[in-house]
Amino acid sequence: MIFIDPPYWPAHGTVFSHLISDASLAELHDFAAANDVAKRAFDLDHYDVPARRYDDLVAAGAMAVSGKDLARALVASGLRIKAKYRVKSTGSVLEVRWDALLPGQRELGAELLRRWNEPHRHYHSASHLLAVLESLDLLTNSAPPPAVALAAWFHDAVYNGVPGTDEEESAELAQQHLKGLAPPAVVTEVARLVRLTAQHSPAADDHAGALLCDADLAILGSAPLRYAQYVTDVRKDYAHIPEDQFSLGRAAVLSQLLALEPLFRTELGQQLWAVQARINMSTELAQLDHTVIDAGRLAP
């Protein structure tokens, strides 16, 4: 269902309402397009619409609710993007984290954030970096080892949508930039950990690798609506790949991940994400298999 709150939020000489869906962003975008709401008005999980549009959007089917009720509906839907994950807020939070991790190296931190905020990134963006770092905090109940945190910063620093090559070039970038800034053993470890994210299959006794891989894969165990948004964003990251090729490649990735036993290597990662991750991936894979079979790409 589409919801709209009263015009209250001031900007640009008027006041604005928020327009949301409690079902999907697709429903929200369809409603907005059908009612001539400009694409530029979309802000990650809602549209900002000026007061003059309020009555006609209600007439078009948007349910008028209070601001508090709209916020509750958005949170309950699983579509809400927390303020810290919005681009400006994310950048501020990440700057603080980088300064604490490697004091005195703000230029390098700014270079990494520039990479993470490249315009072609949708899922593999600064929001993903922050989510990985926060998952590491959760898994370690404090702060992760410096090499693991640095590996998180570098693990998708190079991202051109070329699996394997991106991870290798990110590892090489880490070696290049960290030389002289961290002990040689730490630099070597960071590069090793970055390369691990190509397959997410650390050895049984590789605790550092387990931490990074589990944090990187935590999105797989998210709520279904959040997972669906992740799938949409990943497809955008690979917009250069034709649909049939993407479906085949995505199916292969999901099959490889589902074959990992265990999928999450830390005890807490298994508790938090393992069950939902297998449900999410199995559901997506079944849908992909159906699409590929219908296209005649795979035998039934």
Cβ 273 vs Cβ 280: under 8 Å: no
| Phi, psi of 218, rounded to the nearest 5 degrees | -55, -35
Percent of the chain with pLDDT over 70: 93
Calculate what percentage of the chain has a pLDDT beyond 90: 72
Contact 22, 3 (CB under 8 A): yes
pLDDT above 50 for 296: no
| Tens-digit pLDDT profile for residues 27-75 | 999 999 999 998 888 888 899 999 999 999 999 999 999 988 998 899 8
Say which residue, 75 or 205, is predicted with more confidence. Answer: 205
The residues, ordered by sequence, that sit 6+ positions from 161 with a Cβ below 8 Å of its Cβ are 120, 237, 238, 240, 241
Q: What confidence score (pLDDT) does residue 113 get?
A: 94
**pLDDT above 70: residue 88:** no
Rounded Cα distance between 162 and 165, Å, is 6
Average pLDDT, integer, range 215-242: 92
Tell me the CATH class for 85-294: mainly alpha
Which residues fall within 8 angstroms of residue 91, CB to CB, at 6 or more apart?
Answer: 113, 117, 126
125-177 residue pLDDT tens: 998 998 899 899 889 977 899 999 999 999 999 999 898 999 999 999 999 99
Q: What is the pLDDT of residue 297?
A: 41
Mean pLDDT of the chain: 90
Q: Residue 299: which pLDDT band, with cuts at 50, 70 and 90? A: very low
Contact 193, 151 (CB under 8 A): yes
89 pLDDT band, cuts 50/70/90, is low
Instruction: Provide the residue count of the chain.
Output: 300
Q: H or E element: which one contains 9?
A: strand 9-11
What pLDDT score does 295 carry?
45
pLDDT of residue 8: 85
Q: According to the model, what pLDDT value does residue 56 have?
A: 95
Those residues whose C-beta lies under 8 Å from the C-beta of residue 59, and which sit 6 or more positions away, are none
pLDDT band for 84, please (50, 70, 90 cuts).
Answer: low
Mean pLDDT, range 272-290, rounded to an integer: 92
Q: Quick one: pLDDT at residue 289? A: 72
Beta strand pairing status for 9-11 and 14-21? Answer: antiparallel
Radius of gyration of the chain (CA): 21
**Which of residues 241 and 9 earns the better pLDDT score?**
241
pLDDT, mean of residues 249-261:
94
Q: Per-residue pLDDT for 93 more than 90?
A: no
Predicted model pTM? 0.70
- Of the candidates 157, 236, 166, 241, the one whose C-alpha atom is nearest the C-alpha of residue 198 is 166
> What span, in angstroms and rounded, lies between the C-alpha atoms of 17 and 50?
6
pLDDT of residue 300: 28
Question: What is the predicted pLDDT for the residue at 298?
Answer: 38
- Whether the CA torsion 247, 253, 258, 264 is positive or negative: it is negative
The domain limits of the chain are 2-80, 85-294
